[in-house]
Amino acid sequence: MIHLPNDDTSCGWYDALPDTAVNPPLAGEESADYVVLGAGFAGLAMARRLAELSPYSRILLIDAQRIGQGASGRNSGFVIDLPHKFALEHPDPAHKQKLLSLNRLAIKQLSKLVSKYNIHCQWSAVGKFQGAVGPRGEAYLDHFEHLMKDLGEPYLHVGAEKLSKVLGTRYYSRAIFTPGGYLMQPAALVRGLAQSLPDNVEILENSPIRGISKENGYWRLQGDNGVVKTPDLLLGTSIFTREFGYLKNRLLPVMTFASWTRPLSDEEMQRYGGQLNWGLTPADHAGTTLRMTADRRILVRNSYKHVPKYGASVTDAMRKRIREDHRQVFLARYPALADVPFTHTWGGVYAISRNFTNFFGQLDDRVYASACDNGVGAAWGTISGTLLADFVMGESSPALKDIRQVTGMPSLNPPEPFLGMGVKSRIHLAKWQSRSEL
C-alpha cells in the first residue's frame, strides 16, 4: 500500500469509551479459510455472516488500527433508512424502494444484535429531522417533501416553535421529521459488534497490510511483522480498496469533520432548554449536521475536504481552522452556552464516486468487495457486508438479488491534477452557495 489509514487521535466517540484489551497483531505466518480486511461496519458484517454460514472455518478479521478508530467509529451516529441524498433523486422508483428495503434490513439486523448482545451504544429509534435555516434550505426542504411523497414514505412538518423546543435553539425556520432512522454511538456499536462475533472469527488489530499477491493459488497478505495466506479474500476497506490496486481512479476520498462539547451540566441543560437524543441533517447537502447525544453532548459536523492522502492530507492548521468554524456554528445556535468548550474535533474519511454508484461483488479471482458507501456507512456497510458473504458462499435471496441490481461500477475519474482541482473547486463552491445554511 502507498497510503495507509492515518486518522487523528481526537475522535470523541472513541475517547468516550472505556479502555479494553487489545487484540493481537499479525505476527509470523498465518493461514485462514477466509480473510476479511477492514473491521468497520462492512467487514464486521462479512465476518459474522461467513462464520454463521461456515462455522468450522477459520476466519481472520484484520484491521490496520484498533476496532472503532476508523471511519465507522467516526460518523455522526445516524443509521438512515431512506435512500440518502443523491440516491433519493434516482429516476426509477423501484431502485429507491430496493435501497429502502436493504437499509431497513440492516437496521433490523443491527437492532437484533444490539438487543441480543446487550451492546451499550445509545441505540434508539427516534427518527431524524431535516432542517432548514432560511430560504435556500426551505427550497431544498420543499424538494425533499416532494421526493418523500413520490416514495410514499411518512413524514411530519415541524414548525419553528415546536422545533425550537426539541433543539433548544430558534436558529432553524422549520424541518421535516422522518420516523425510520436510528441514532447510536458509532464507536461503541462497532466495538460491541466486534466483541460479539462468533468464536471462529479471530480479530487482529494494529495490523496494516502493505500489499497482496497471488502465490500457488493462495492470496498472500504481507504485514509489517507477518504474513497471512488464504484462498478467499473479502475487502471491507472502503476508500482504501484502491490502495490494493482495485477500483483505481474510481473512488474519491472525502473527509468530513465534527466537534463536540463535554456533557452539559444540570445548570447548562437548563440554559439549553431542549431535549436529549435527537439528530438533524441539513436540507442543503452542504449545510451543518447537528446532534444532541443521549449523554448531553452537542455535536456539529460540516467542512468537506478532498484528502488524496487521507489523514495525512490534513494539517494541524487546517484542523484548527475547522474547529474555529465549528465554534462559530455552535455559537450561532447556542449563544447562551458560549462558556461550554469543545473537547474534541475529528475527521473521518469515506469514499464517494462521481456517478454515486456503490460497488458490490467480485474484483479478482476469489477477491470480493463492498466499496464506496457514498456517505451512508452504517446501514449500507452492514447489509452489503452480510450479502457479500452470502454471495461468496453461493447463497441466494431476494435481498441479494436487489443489491446486485442497485450496485455497479463507479465511474472513472479525470486524471490528476485535474481531479483534485475539480473536487476542491466543487467543495468550495458548495460551501459558498450554502453559507446561509451553515
What tens digit of pLDDT does each residue of 142-190 get? 999 999 999 999 999 999 999 999 999 999 999 999 999 999 999 999 9
**Host H or E run for residue 59:** strand 59-62
Q: Are 333 and 271 in contact (CB under 8 A)?
A: no
Residues 6+ positions from 172 with CB-CB distance below 8 Å: 131, 132, 133, 160, 163, 164, 280
What percent of the chain stands above pLDDT 90?
89
pLDDT, average across residues 45-67: 98
Segment among 106-110, 111-115, 266-270, 312-316 with least mean pLDDT: 312-316
Three cell numbers at 400?
A: 441479494
Residue 438 has pLDDT above 90, yes or no: no
Q: Are 301 and 288 in contact (CB under 8 A)?
A: yes
Q: Which residues of 252-281 are buried (b: 16+ CB within 10 A; e: fewer)?
A: bbbbbbbbbbbebeeebeeebebebebbbb
Higher pLDDT: 377 or 393? It is 393
Report residue 199: phi and psi, to 5°.
-65, -25
Q: Are 256 and 246 in contact (CB under 8 A)?
A: no
Chain mean pLDDT for the chain: 95
Alpha carbons 379 and 389: distance in angstroms, whole number: 16
Quick: pLDDT tens for 64-74.
999 999 999 99
Tell me 124's DSSP state. Answer: B
pLDDT, average across residues 392-417: 94
Report residue 308: phi and psi, to 5°.
-60, -25
Q: Structure pTM? A: 0.96
Alpha carbons 183 and 79: distance in angstroms, whole number: 6
- How far, in whole angstroms, is CA 214 from its chain's centroid? 31
* DSSP bridge pairs for 278: 292
> Residue 243: pLDDT band by 50, 70, 90 thresholds?
very high
Cα-Cα-Cα-Cα dihedral of 271, 272, 274, 276, to 10°?
-120
**The predicted structure's pLDDT at residue 373:** 80
Alpha carbons 354 and 364: distance in angstroms, whole number: 23
Quick: pLDDT tens for 358-376.
999 999 999 999 998 876 7
* DSSP bridge pairs for 261: 342
- Going from N- to C-terminal start, the domains of the chain cover 124-181+252-354
C-alpha distances in angstroms, 330 versus 174, 289, 297, 304, 318?
18, 11, 12, 17, 18
**The predicted structure's pLDDT at residue 41:** 97
Q: Where are the strands (E) in 184-274, listed by range? A: 201-204, 209-215, 218-223, 226-230, 232-235, 252-261
- In CATH terms, the fold of domain 124-181+252-354 is D-Amino Acid Oxidase; Chain A, domain 2 (3.30.9)
**The predicted structure's pLDDT at residue 376:** 74
**The predicted structure's pLDDT at residue 435:** 81
pLDDT, average across residues 413-431: 79
Residue 418 has pLDDT above 70, yes or no: no
Residue 309 has pLDDT above 90, yes or no: yes
Tell me 341's DSSP state. Answer: P
pLDDT, average across residues 9-13: 97
Three cell numbers at 403?
A: 443489491
- How far, in whole angstroms, is CA 211 from its chain's centroid? 25
- How far, in whole angstroms, is CA 198 from its chain's centroid? 24
Q: Are 230 and 35 in contact (CB under 8 A)?
A: yes
